[in-house]
Each structure stands twice: as structure tokens, then as C-alpha cells.
Amino acid sequence: MARALINVPPKAKRGELIEIKTLISHNMETGFRPDNTGKPVPRDIITEFVCKYNGEEIFRAELFPAIAANPFLTFFTIATESGTLNFEWTGDNGFSASESVNITVE
Amino acid sequence: MREDHIAPATRRRFLIDTAALAGAAGLGLSLAIRPASATPASMRAAIRRVVGEASVKKGRLKIDLPPLIENGNAVPLTVAAESPMTADNYVKAIHVFTEKNPQPNVISVQLGPRAGRATFATRIRLADSQKVIAIAEMNDGSFWSDEIEVIVTLAACLEGV
């Protein structure tokens, strides 16, 4: 399974704007690069990223080959309640990875 | 002169190989006729697919990208839209396009009032010095855009393995 790094503040005040940073290891092969025989290397990328906060979707991104290797995404949300943030990546060749992080809201 | 002869030959072989690959993978012919790079026209077509017939106005959105890029393989990109992000006034989606990458699309993000701030950041690949355009879709159906010209000294995407 691909290694993912997630940065979410572990504690937040209710209604506070929090920044979420995610990074996942994946080489994001574009499908446009030729190999040493001149044929293009088949595309192998992450195509979709979804973040859910206690089951409710707060951020979704559709990725294309123009996203650099090891896709890094930062975005924001409002800390509404304590619970779990769930992160899910899906991609070519059946790629799938998920992570969860807990957050305490006071 | 010699190089002039080699170039079309490799291009032809590339096209044949791509066609064979497309057939084998059952991906259809769209791969075989894929151009070597997106053109301003294909970028406009990609934007049309997103916005439909709506008009796109300048403003309410800001792309943050270094104007001079040494390495196009990982370029930090931040897109920020101005919006209160309340239940009845929020940014629904932000799309990023390029003019000269092999494909015009870069990323499309879906947001909602829960996002709090309509800003995201990522790292992108840029194949050439070109124009980068971001378009934000508001919940009232209006579209806003920003564009930036960047210079890339080392291109991404097209080099060999």
C-alpha cells in the first residue's frame, strides 16, 4: 500500500478554519513518456481523491497526468465536531488507498 | 536534412504503436489521434466542456504560480477563490487548464460550504512555457477565471525514461 502522509491539527476550536495537507507516494506515470524502445509508458496515475468528515464529503479532486509525482494536496475545512476525517485515493490499475485521522473539536 | 527524415518516421511509428496499444487495451481510437500537445484550441474545448454556454468573467479567483520555473516536473500551484463559503454563496468547483501540456486538464476540485475557504494547493507538471487558466464555478452558476503566463526552463512530461 502506498505511503500517505496526512497533516490535520489534532485539536481545534468549534468553527475554526483548519488546513489539511495530504501527500501520497505514487509516481503518476503520465502515459506520454517514451521508454527506451520509443513506445509510450502506459499511463498509471491517481485519478480521484475524496476527503470525508464524519462521512460527509468536504473535498473531492479529479487528478490528471499534469499532477506531479507523489500528489500533494492542501485544502481547508471548518472544524464542526469531533470525529474522523477519511481520505481516499483511487486510480489506474485498481489503485486504491485510504487513511483516517481523528480530530478533537472543543 | 537527415534529421528531417527521422522526425516523421519516429512520429509515424509512434502513432502506429499508439494505435496498436489502444487497440490492445480496448481504449478506442481516441488515443491514436491524441495530439502531441494540447493547443489553445483544445484548451478552449476543454473549458467549454466544463462551462457549457455560460460566459466566463475575469476575477474573484487568483492563481499563485512562480512566473519563472526552473523545473516543470513539480511546480507549486495555489488557487484561491474569493467567496464567503456560506450555505447560499459558495464555490462549487475549481478547474485548472494549461495550453501546451499533452492534455489541457490539470485538476478539477469540488468544494462546498463545508470547505470554509475556497483555496487549494498542489504540485503540477508543466511541459512548456505557457498560459495556465483557472476557472471557478459558483453555486449561482456563474464562472470566474484567472490566467497567468509562466516561463518553464526544464520541461516535464515528454522526456524519455
User: Cα–chain-centroid distance for residue B127?
Assistant: 11
Range with lowest mean pLDDT among A23-37, A80-94, B32-46, B140-154: B32-46
C-beta of residue B65 within 8 angstroms of C-beta of residue B77:
yes
The domain spans of chain A are 4-105
The domain spans of chain B are 1-33, 36-152
Among residues of chain B, what percentage have pLDDT more than 70?
A: 74
Residue B32's pLDDT band (cuts 50, 70, 90): very low
CA distance B158 to chain A (A): 5
C-beta of residue A78 within 8 angstroms of C-beta of residue B86:
no
CB proximity A9 to B under 8 Å: no
d(CA A44, CA A60): 20
pLDDT given at position B69 = 92
pLDDT given at position A38 = 85
Residue to mutate among A26, A67, A89, with most B CBs inside 10 A, is A67
pTM score: 0.81
Which listed CATH number (3.40.640.10, 3.40.50.720, 3.40.50.10490, 2.60.40.2470) goes with B36-152? 2.60.40.2470
pLDDT given at position B2 = 47
The fold of the A4-105 domain, in CATH, is: Immunoglobulin-like (2.60.40)
Which among B75, B93, B102 has a CA at the least distance from the CA of B134? B93
Predicted ipTM? Answer: 0.91
C-beta of residue A1 within 8 angstroms of C-beta of residue A94:
no
Interchain proximity A73–B17, CB inside 8 Å: no
d(CA B110, CA B147): 20
pLDDT in tens, A19-67: 999 999 999 999 988 888 888 899 999 999 999 999 999 999 999 999 9
Q: Which three cell numbers stand for residue B4?
A: 528531417
